[in-house]
Amino acid sequence: MLIKKTADIRSSQVTSKSLYLDRRKFLAGAATLAGAVAVGGVACVSAAAPEPTQGGQKLPGVVKGQFNTDEKQTPYKDITNYNNFYEFATDKYEPAALAKSLRTRPWTVKVEGMVQKPKTYDIDSLLKLATLEERVYRHRCVEGWSMVIPWVGYSFSKLISQVQPLGSAKYVEFTTLNDPAQMPGVRYRVLDWPYTEGLRLDEANHPLALLTFGLYGEVLPNQDGAPVRIVLPWKYGFKSCKSIVRIRFMDKEPATAWNKAAPNEYGFYSNVNPNVDHPRWSQAKERRIGEFFKRPTLMFNGYRDQVASMYAGMDLKKYY
């Protein structure tokens, strides 16, 4: 497989494997054909997806969370077979197979930086830190496709309260596992590994910011960010760091993977905003996986009432 360098590739330019997998089935009817339509250079599909991956272990004691949308949920097979996870592959279908070898036990997350109580958590300690909630969130990707996913986790603020940030801490940085032996994608300089993302501390403390361990009531599949990830439903999907191994509290804005790769295209905030286009395509509409017609993109992905106050007075075209 030819892997391009960062200068030559963006997330929007990766061609879906659906363009050549099971092509006869893909072309069988108009409805199926309509399921793959180019959006900013990426084909958004569901009908041609491979068979679902094996279900994971059930997560016990999960309660219904707040902020749930009542929109139709995206099928499990699509959530687990159409993924952005460049540590495994730039193709959207390949992570489902390549991530099977990822070892998620034992797993530790180091919490450090400007905190009073730095600590290294094993994954089971993190799971027991707070009551797990199922929250059905909209999920919007910068390439123009979206899903509705029943995530399982708890507000990241629960962990923040445990480590007690110093008054000088203003930002949080998340770092993904960087292991070429398990993650074939990191053998290539598609991005500046390890993958990092970041938030302002007030964003990280917002109740919508979800430290996530599962979906559809089961442990996270590897390709969806196992064993622990962050989910930020008002931001584009690449902000939601997967397979987290380090959380660091800082006084300066952390450098983030896509912002380093293309700062004119991927800003630090990356809030879903139909009024701020990507330099190469519009963000005004999106295509829900499994649907043919596009729908208008909602400001802050439909979470305006909950999060807009954090950005009051900011020029959202400058701080995109």
DSSP annotation of 46 reads S
- The pLDDT-based confidence of 197 (bands split at 50, 70, 90) is very high
- CA dist 39 and 281 (Å) reads 9
DSSP 3-state assignment of 157? helix
> Where are the chain's structural domains?
6-311
Look up residue 107 and give its two tokens.
Answer: 């797993």
DSSP 3-state assignment of 315? coil
Find the mean pLDDT for residues 212-222: 98
Look up residue 198 and give its two tokens.
Answer: 């970041």
Look up residue 19 and give its two tokens.
Answer: 């363009």
Give the least confident one: 40-49, 210-219, 307-316. 40-49
* pLDDT tens per residue, range 12-64: 444 343 333 333 333 333 333 233 333 333 333 333 444 434 457 999 999 99
- CA dist 94 and 171 (Å) reads 33
The pLDDT value recorded for residue 97 is 97
* pLDDT tens per residue, range 258-298: 999 999 999 999 999 999 999 999 999 999 999 999 999 99
- CA dist 284 and 273 (Å) reads 8
- The pLDDT-based confidence of 194 (bands split at 50, 70, 90) is very high
* 9, pLDDT greater than 90: no
Q: What is the pTM of this model?
A: 0.85
- CA dist 84 and 87 (Å) reads 9
- CA dist 80 and 94 (Å) reads 11
Considering the chain, what percentage of its residues have pLDDT values greater than 70?
83
Q: Determine whether domain 6-311 maps to CATH 3.90.420.10.
A: yes
Measured over all CA atoms, what is the biggest interatomic distance in the chain, rounded to whole angstroms?
60
Angle at alpha carbon of residue 180, lines to 178 and 184, rounded to 5°: 110
To which residue do tokens 């592959």 refer?
A: 89
* pLDDT tens per residue, range 75-127: 999 999 999 999 999 999 999 999 999 999 999 999 999 999 999 999 999 99
The pLDDT value recorded for residue 126 is 98
- CA dist 210 and 213 (Å) reads 9
| Burial group, residue 284, by CB count within 10 angstroms (0-12, 13-18, 19+) | middle
Instruction: Kindly list the distances between the CA atom of residue 2 and the CA atoms of 87, 91, 185, 188, 193, in Å, as whole numbers in the listed order.
Output: 15, 11, 12, 10, 19
